[in-house]
Structure 1
Amino acid sequence: MSSLFPKLFSPIDLGPLRLRNRIVSSGHDTMLADDGTIGADLIAYHERRAAGGAGLIVLQVSGVHPTARYTSHVLMATDPDAADGYSAIADAVHKHSCGIVAQLFHPGREVMDGEQGMAPQAVAPSDRPQERFHVVPQELSTDVIDEIVEGYGQSAELICQAGVDGVEVVASHGYLPIQFINPAVNSRTDKYGGSPENRLRFLLDAIASARRGAGENKVVGLRISGDELTSNGLVDSEILEVIKATENQGMVDYISVTGGDSSTLQGAQHIVPSMQYEPAYLGQLSEQIKKFTDRPVMVAGRINQPHEAEKAIVDGQTDLCIMTRAMICDPEIAGKAERDAVEEIRACIGCNQACIGHFQQGVGISCIQYPESGRELTFLPRPKVREASRLLVVGGGPAGMKAAAVAAEAGAQVTLLEREKALGGQVLLAEKLPHRSEFGGAATNLTAEAQRAGVDIRTGTEFSASHLGELRPDHVIFATGSTDRDPDFEIVDSPLVLTSRQFLTDAPELPPGGVLIADWKGDWAGMGLAIMLARKRQVTLATAANFAGAGIQQYTRTALMPELIRAKVDFVNDARLAGVDEDTVYLQSTLCDEVIEVEGIATTIVNHAPHAVVPDIDLNGIPSVRIGDCKAPRTVEEAVYEGLTAANEFILTTGHRIPVGA
């Protein structure tokens, strides 16, 4: 039992299911399913979190009807052959004394993709168009509604008979059950529309069907947004009426509270809130719901650390805490917290880049800090080396630190040289941007991992040939990063032109007048600098991308854009920087030869493509590899991943490998 987090690590009952603690991994699509079924990758992913100490795993959504395919890869509980997968994942999770529940799902009009590249086709209570995916759904007939309701029960029966502990009816984020309840979406006049009682009918029928299918000795939960946090969405007082109705029905064992709505960008950002939002910011919603129910309540919303979870429980906001991304970043966070080893926790920084960002790109989810997540069968368990080989890592940014930590953990003798006085590389610049301070946690976490693994870290040390004689490395990994590229545009007179790195490293006092930020990629730096500077002066954000923030995960960009809009930032898209003079910036359209002149500019800040730093030292035949930006300038995600893969390759090809368990 933890002495620091006694509430978090006290057991709790969800109906017939006793959990060992209050830490929950909520349902989230991993893109790890095998053609819509549960396979080895998905099992390994969830077993890792169960083994790491989670109290409850909630499996990603399972469709309850053929019309429930919101993506081409969604799990479907309508196929009898799917039972084997549910059985296998239940066995894997139960092996570690962890509970597992599966989500029952129908998206209604919230459909992301169609068949063979065609536009999505969806069904809903009415044919009200959906704004975010631009879907006009077909109105459901009562016959199909009956089929869907029955599907909840049939799916629950299949899942629970396979050995899963229960099911969770998903009525959150504007999906089908809540679409019936929202009068802005449901314009029906039959028994499923009109009065509040009629609009509640579908949800209550779905819960009753799930309960019949699951059986009395299994768990039935409800997932719901405590407030949809969007225009024309249901607000907290309306959701409380829904909770009262489910309470009167008496068939739900717990309530899982989240926020937001999938149908608009405004609401969707709360599905996976980025670092702009405070930790546990949805706790007030679950606290309201707790007043109307005696059932256990769990809440999501950026709960990334055990002390945040403990406080939410102690303050009466919730009974359990959803820490999904925290466990993507550190699958062992529960076990570490239980033994009070909080200094070992790799904290999620809420960047959204490799978790929901990967899902929205159609690839398996992972974590920029811990790329082993979602790749458990490739990289875990870590091999060991019997005879320690010597590895030299040059560069102490994310790539170098990850490589050093992984190799040292495997038993290699590792020395890391960093030219600067502090480790972290460009992460130390990124954390200076507005709403980006948590990003520095990536450097803090990687530094701590390297230190715990026993890496000989030498900062303020420029790599030279003398180190080869001193350290006698068997292998060298270069992670020397990138630097600013020479200007490839015309500069006339003496305008103030800075790169984004120069500005963030040591910004001079800017002269009066407008600022133009020339952003070639459409990433965080451009938007962050615009927010920072628009507080004091007029800013133009010109990007060579299709729109500002094109390279940022959608929910993160959505949270940033309102600040730029309210600050009256001017946007110029599809335009590259061509020239600068004393008070005018010249842009050229990337779509044609048209030149765009922006006048009244006193300062130009260039966020352009960097240049790889390639070491020029004779290694005398010592094998070497380049990783991260010195291989090709990209993002922290690629840098850390290449640090992992380079170290893994070194472990597997150098020295004598000890089989795991030997």
Structure 2
Amino acid sequence: MSNDPLLQPFQLKHLTLRNRIIMTAHEPAYPEEGMPKARYRAYHVERAKGGVAMTMTAGSAAVSKDSPPVFNNLLVYKDEVVPWMKDMTDAVHEQGAAIMIQLTHLGRRTRWDKAFWLPVVSPSHRREASHKAFPKKMEDWDIERIITDYADAAERMKAGGMDGIELQAYGHLMDQFWSPLTNELDAPYGGSLENRLRFTFDVLKEIRKRVGPDFIVGVRYTGDEMLEGGLTKADGLDISRRLKESGLVDFLNVVRGHIDTDAGLTDVIPIQGMANSPHLDFAGEVRAATNFPTFHAAKIPDVATARHAIASGKLDMVGMTRAHMTDPHIVRKIIERREDDIRPCVGANYCLDRIYQGGAAYCIHNAATGRELDMPHTIARAETRKKIVIVGAGPAGLEAARVAGERGHEVVVFEVAPDPGGQIRLTAQSERRKEMISIIDWRMAQCEKYGVTFHFNTWADAGTVQAENPDVVIIATGGMPHTEVLTKGNELVVSSWDIIAGDVKPGSNVLVFDDAGDHAGLQAAEILADAGGRVEIMTPDRSFAPEVMAMNLTPYMRALQNKEVTFTVTYRLEAVEKDGNQLIAYVGSDYGGVSKQRTFDQIVVNHGTVPLDEIYFDLKPASTNLGEVSYEQLIAGVPQSVIRNPDGGFQLFRIGDAVSARNTHAAIYDALRLMKDV
């Protein structure tokens, strides 16, 4: 028996949870036709294999047809969901973990032009800023049918073998009843706090009628909206006591804040550069006030903080949700005393930002997450040991080296810089994004463990590589900023990298022409603004920085909007001329009919990268495959067998930005899916 607080079991009603770490409810957007099919099941089973006590599915499974998900989510208003739930529940139980699901009605937190095109409903006509639909103010028959929908869904989940359910309140319909900011109904469902809670307790009573007293039911809710006129901390503590005293719920899962805006959502679920565990003490206050099973999750990325949360008595179960998206085997590694091997969550929030733009959740530096059917979290040893030479020690090269090393190959890496990291090292120079360097540090530690040899400060040419007598050569040299985008004056501009790296002194009146829409443009703008300059961020697109996405945009806006920074959309920088010590910018528009001249003392261009691929083309004639990748074999997950040159001495591949400008996740995925079969 371990004396580690995290490894102690916890008794929740009749259910024994094997340790104190859970994945709280979240929707990675893997459903197919609203059902948790093979991909969804594999994702949760992997975390169960990794030792988590409980995984909670479906960040907000939809109980009603007028609550259409705003991104791909489970549809628990359908009877056909039951056998799919049973398959997933059985598979998770086989691994020793418990499994629950979160149910909700979104209320106004959705749109009317999805699914069945039914009106959005809420206890008032007030529109939510994030989703922008004007809701219908609910009638009595709306309330009656939605109460029934909740109970029907709960009954389906019990039939599907779930250990329990959690009702999502914060920001969703239940909370819209609770908050005085969004409830304009008359009694019995509006007015006093007791009346505003009536809908929730009516739902809970109806659920209990259907599922009985033994089925586990909890509520995830905000204990303080942190909004003027909204629910206060005192309200939250009162609500917590009422939930406990009702006898209708078995656990509380408390958060703090509001999610009706991108900024509010980001404060509830903080990202990199923001404080870790910002609401943990508040959750501890709720537990102290109620002496009732209390769960909580909000940027608790590391084992030490999680251990403190349990040891101090602040929580009964600690949620490490994004951390488990990064490493599904956290608990197993704790048990095996291998905490140093845990792949760290860096708070990049690539996972959540993707789902809010309609994509599937992927971890920025674990490309196997969400691809469990095809990609391994644990790398198998190769049958034959090979000599692998890798050029470049950025994220792509280091992932290739890590995977090849874990497979047992002899691996040699050449890097021209004195340190590993490539663009990640550049990114991490910004204080707010310094957590990104853990992507590199973790891989370097793993490479050391597997005996990878590194040659830094080494310019590798074709001769250097061939002298190693490699079986496989991986070119991961990345790219360099592409600023040759103007009809005239390309030599007069600097790149976003120049500003971030500190190679060029910030100007005082600067145009940042951002035609890539990624982090580099905004990072450069933040550095320029912090230096006291007047900054204009211009893009030819209809919105700026689309690759940064909503939650990552929040800290940039907080850093930029209180300085002398303006944002200009739908205009294109076409040419630059020098005029004394000033630069004249010639500005047009893709929409036509625009020709403007503007004056700046510095112009920064952010237009992605062009590959550093000279060594690849130098080596290509000497390779067996002439650099060719069989996409069919790559997608199928089988070894590459292309032979275009039987007299060649090695297989040759290039990955990451050495192919084309993409992002960190793409570079790491390139490396993983290629190297796992070498």
Identify whether the pair has TM-score above 0.5, normalized to the shorter chain: yes
Amino acid at match of 1:102: I
- Aligned: 1:562 with 2:562: no
- Aligned: 1:575 with 2:576: no
Query: CA shift at 1:283, angstroms?
Result: 1.2
Amino acid at match of 1:367: C
d(CA) in 2 for partners of 1:191, 1:29: 33
d(CA) in 1 for partners of 2:618, 2:24: 50
Mean Cα deviation higher: 301-310 or 555-564: 555-564
Q: Aligned to 1:379, what secondary structure does the other structure show? A: coil
Look up the match of 1:358: 354
Look up the match of 1:43: 41
Look up the match of 1:379: 375
- Aligned: 1:517 with 2:518: no
Q: Aligned to 2:201, what secondary structure does the other structure show? A: helix
Look up the match of 2:629: none
Query: CA shift at 1:119, angstroms?
Result: 7.1
Please tell me whether the aligned partners of residues 396 and 416 of structure 1 are also in contact (alpha carbons under 8 angstroms).
yes
Q: State how 1:73-472 maps to structure 2 within 5 Å.
A: 73-112=72-111, 114-115=113-114, 121-172=119-170, 174-230=171-227, 233-353=230-350, 355-380=351-376, 382-472=379-469
Mean Cα deviation higher: 628-637 or 547-556: 547-556
Look up the match of 2:634: none
Please tell me whether the aligned partners of residues 575 and 587 of structure 1 are also in contact (alpha carbons under 8 angstroms).
no
Mean Cα deviation higher: 100-109 or 442-451: 442-451
Identity %: 28
**CA shift in 2, pair 1:459/1:407, >3 Å:** same
**CA shift in 2, pair 1:568/1:45, >3 Å:** same
Look up the match of 1:658: none
Look up the match of 1:636: 664
Q: Aligned to 2:220, what secondary structure does the other structure show? A: strand
**CA shift in 2, pair 1:552/1:587, >3 Å:** farther
d(CA) in 2 for partners of 1:481, 1:566: 35
d(CA) in 2 for partners of 1:646, 1:418: 20
Q: State how 1:583-622 maps to structure 2 within 5 Å.
A: 583-591=582-590, 592=592, 594-599=594-599, 601-614=600-613, 615=615, 616-619=617-620, 620=622, 621=648, 622=650
Mean Cα deviation higher: 367-376 or 330-339: 330-339
Look up the match of 1:504: 500
Q: Aligned to 2:152, what secondary structure does the other structure show? A: helix
Query: CA shift at 1:430, angstroms?
Result: 0.2
Look up the match of 1:536: 531
Please tell me whether the aligned partners of residues 218 and 251 of structure 2 are also in contact (alpha carbons under 8 angstroms).
yes
d(CA) in 1 for partners of 2:15, 2:215: 7
Please tell me whether the aligned partners of residues 72 and 115 of structure 1 are also in contact (alpha carbons under 8 angstroms).
no
**CA shift in 2, pair 1:113/1:539, >3 Å:** farther
**CA shift in 2, pair 1:128/1:502, >3 Å:** closer
Look up the match of 2:65: 66
Please tell me whether the aligned partners of residues 483 and 605 of structure 2 are also in contact (alpha carbons under 8 angstroms).
no
Amino acid at match of 2:75: M
Q: Aligned to 1:476, what secondary structure does the other structure show? A: strand
d(CA) in 2 for partners of 1:483, 1:603: 20
Look up the match of 2:636: none
d(CA) in 1 for partners of 2:292, 2:197: 20
d(CA) in 1 for partners of 2:257, 2:661: 35
Counterpart selection for 2:6 from 2, 5, 8: 8
Query: CA shift at 1:217, angstroms?
Result: 2.5
**CA shift in 2, pair 1:194/1:468, >3 Å:** closer
Query: CA shift at 1:608, angstroms?
Result: 2.8
d(CA) in 1 for partners of 2:660, 2:118: 37
Mean Cα deviation higher: 210-219 or 9-18: 210-219
Query: CA shift at 1:597, angstroms?
Result: 4.0
Mean Cα deviation higher: 364-373 or 415-424: 415-424
**CA shift in 2, pair 1:144/1:489, >3 Å:** closer
Amino acid at match of 2:659: K
Count of residue pairs brought into register by the alignment: 642
Please tell me whether the aligned partners of residues 2 and 340 of structure 1 are also in contact (alpha carbons under 8 angstroms).
no
Query: CA shift at 1:341, angstroms?
Result: 1.7
Higher relative contact order (CA 8 A, sep 6+): 1
Mean Cα deviation higher: 356-365 or 381-390: 381-390
Mean Cα deviation higher: 6-15 or 569-578: 569-578
Query: CA shift at 1:595, angstroms?
Result: 4.0
Amino acid at match of 1:559: P
d(CA) in 2 for partners of 1:631, 1:554: 28
**CA shift in 2, pair 1:492/1:39, >3 Å:** closer
* 1:504-531 Cα shifts (integer Å, max 9, x gaps): 33435556x3333332222222222222
Look up the match of 1:659: none
Q: Aligned to 1:8, what secondary structure does the other structure show? A: helix
Q: Aligned to 1:588, what secondary structure does the other structure show? A: strand
Amino acid at match of 1:630: A
Please tell me whether the aligned partners of residues 506 and 528 of structure 2 are also in contact (alpha carbons under 8 angstroms).
no
**CA shift in 2, pair 1:585/1:93, >3 Å:** farther
**CA shift in 2, pair 1:37/1:285, >3 Å:** same
Please tell me whether the aligned partners of residues 368 and 641 of structure 1 are also in contact (alpha carbons under 8 angstroms).
no
Q: Aligned to 2:355, what secondary structure does the other structure show? A: helix
**CA shift in 2, pair 1:469/1:642, >3 Å:** closer
Q: Aligned to 1:68, what secondary structure does the other structure show? A: coil
**CA shift in 2, pair 1:113/1:40, >3 Å:** farther
Query: CA shift at 1:160, angstroms?
Result: 1.9
* 1:51-105 Cα shifts (integer Å, max 9, x gaps): 1111111111322222232247431223332211111111111122211111121
C-alpha RMSD over aligned residues: 2.5
Mean Cα deviation higher: 333-342 or 321-330: 333-342
d(CA) in 2 for partners of 1:587, 1:208: 67
Look up the match of 1:655: none
Please tell me whether the aligned partners of residues 48 and 95 of structure 2 are also in contact (alpha carbons under 8 angstroms).
yes
d(CA) in 1 for partners of 2:180, 2:565: 36
Counterpart selection for 1:526 from 521, 530, 535: 521
**CA shift in 2, pair 1:543/1:447, >3 Å:** farther
d(CA) in 1 for partners of 2:426, 2:2: 36
Query: CA shift at 1:482, angstroms?
Result: 0.5
**CA shift in 2, pair 1:336/1:596, >3 Å:** farther
d(CA) in 2 for partners of 1:493, 1:171: 54
* 1:170-202 Cα shifts (integer Å, max 9, x gaps): 112x10111111122111114111222211100
Amino acid at match of 2:358: G
- Aligned: 1:623 with 2:624: no
Query: CA shift at 1:344, angstroms?
Result: 0.7
Query: CA shift at 1:596, angstroms?
Result: 4.1
Mean Cα deviation higher: 147-156 or 481-490: 481-490
d(CA) in 1 for partners of 2:101, 2:366: 25
d(CA) in 2 for partners of 1:85, 1:55: 21
Q: Aligned to 1:301, what secondary structure does the other structure show? A: coil
